[in-house]
Chains A and B, each alone.
Chain A
Amino acid sequence: MSFVLQQVTVRYREQPVLHEVSTEFRPGVLTAIVGPNGAGKSTLLGVMAGLRRDFSGTCEYGGVNIRKWSRSAFAKSVCLVPQSLHLEFPFTVEQVVMMGRAPHAGRMFESDEDHAATERAMGMTDTLSFRDRDFRSLSGGERQRAVLASALAQSPEFLLLDEPATFLDLRHQVGIYRLVREFCRTGVGAVTVTHDLNTALTYADRVLILDGGRIVGDGLPADVLSPVNIESVFGVRSEAGGGSRPWIAYEP
């Protein structure tokens, strides 16, 4: 199922945070949203995740306005990986991952299928070794992997990721994006917000640049993340190269 946004505008105290954004996100495609701070990236993700209802325009998922989706049906299909998760209470890692099954599970106890999905997700995210630890005792990177495991346990058809690799070391950054890309190859759609342009260039199928709440670039990563666009949006001079393995280097 696809997301189709038409003329989506979000205002915060009369100031537009998103301005008439129209675009489409299809299954099987990993789209990276990049842009400077305050560009409206997380707001766009919030609209798509159904967290923000204070927008004008339309946002449809699977041809149905997301306001008309039942919350549980929507949660079975679309999953949001937040930028960070801070817990007040001593939930174990496994309990947090198992929460991903909430939209699928019955009222009281989890099924064998729920346990299998949780095991699988923890295996894929390398979190099995600390499954019994208090989530609050984890490092930032371990937390983020547990949150991603929870998202994968949700068995979504569409993944929305808000800077999922922020706290991760290089190995786990690469691991996470490889994993998301593999999921996309199986038909899962993914939209990720990232500040790392090289990550977007390396793993995304499509890059969308937001600036001042407007889409100012949309297309193949190597085309969109050009030195000209980077300088105009971020004010940073850069150099691009690579061919089959493209890269961006910033002027010191």
Chain B
Amino acid sequence: MSPRRFWVAIIVCLVLMCAAALVAPLIGSAHIDYSRAIAGESPDHEILFLVRFPRVLLALLAGGTLAMTGVLFQALLRDSLAEPYTLGVSSGSALGAVLAICLGWRAVWPPAFLGAAVTLFVVLAIAYQRHKLSSFTLLLAGVSINSIAMASILFLHNVATFSQSFAITRWLMGGLDSPRYSVLGWLAGVVLPICAVIFWQARHWNLMAVGEEWAATHGVNSSRLMVGGYISGSIMTAAITAFTGPIGFIGLIVPHGLRLAVGADHRVLLPCSFFVGAAFLVICDTFARTLLSPVEIPVGVITALLGGPFFLWLLRTSSR
């Protein structure tokens, strides 16, 4: 890959992300102006900096991370249908969150994160045998844990009260809120360094996307790369899901769309996925909070409704 091609793709995707991040906060039921908000005039200042901007930042982090994790898990499993939620971590997270709602706990994200962590270690313990991680066993273990967690969620949902049931349904649909900047800082501190490490290993992920043996015979410790990739992707998914609930489709549609545009080379695919995934979720969230304003649609519904037809159109176009 030529450096020129790399930088052109990166800059285009980065500009797209920045444009989405700058325009989205201006859209909403209340009209605001950047100059008034920056000058500290009320209510523009409060709406921008306390409500819309934190939410856009969360959407950027969540969308970028989920898209990049999608690329990572697809390469790791060599399965183009893999996404951040394939290996059970989000189900573990959901189980933790649902349990917290049923127990009446106010903070949902700590148990959600704990549930994801437990799932990560259970799947890893099953799939890691004889100092080797098999992608096939990993996939089967992940899918099995997924089923068990989903069955448990259904059980809890069944015994929950009416208000708890509503809260569970809302959480499972996935949604964005306006978090405190300290929370955003914490989240960015967890996911961005991991994203940087994954990008740093992009050439190794190219080899792994071809096969474990292919990677091993090209100088890569494939077992270590797989364990590291699985743990990294799971931590990223867990961190995001704990705050947003499961937001589907981004980890699938963004990597696929980008492969058609920039190719399969992970050196360009990974960073571009982050930028485009971030932009995509910001746009979807803008629709989510404005389409039926003042009623908010869960953003997971929008990602599926926008992403599904777009994905089908891409498939149709690419197969011609």
Contact = CB atoms under 8 A, between A and B. Distances in A.
A82 B213 contact: yes
Chain B: interface residue count, which band?
20 to 34
A51 B216 contact: yes
Given A85-B211, A89-B80, A109-B3, A103 B263 contact: no
A102 B264 contact: no
Interface of B: 1-3, 6, 74-75, 78-80, 130, 200, 202-203, 206-207, 209-211, 213-214, 216-221, 259-260, 263-265, 267
Interface in A48-83: 49-51, 54, 71-76, 78-80, 82
Contacts, number: 84
Interface of A: 49-51, 54, 71-76, 78-80, 82, 85, 87-92, 95-96, 99-100, 102-103, 105, 107-110, 154
B217 A50 contact: yes
Contacts of A71: 216, 219-221
Contacts of B259: 89-90
Nearest to B82: A88
Given A74-B219, A91-B265, A95-B263, 12 more contacts: A50-B216, A51-B217, A72-B219, A76-B219, A78-B217, A80-B217, A91-B209, A95-B264, A100-B218, A102-B218, A102-B219, A109-B1
B222 to A, nearest CB: 9
Say what secondary structure dominates the interface of chain A.
Answer: loop
B210 A91 contact: yes
Given A90-B263, A90-B264, A105-B203, A99 B210 contact: yes
A78 to B, nearest CB: 8
A137 B200 CA distance: 30
A109 B6 contact: yes
B207 A79 contact: no
24 contacts: A49-B217, A71-B220, A75-B217, A82-B211, A87-B210, A88-B74, A88-B78, A88-B80, A89-B74, A89-B80, A89-B264, A90-B260, A90-B264, A95-B1, A95-B206, A95-B263, A95-B264, A95-B265, A96-B210, A102-B220, A103-B218, A107-B203, A108-B203, A109-B6
A81 to B, nearest CB: 9
A129 to B, nearest CB: 20
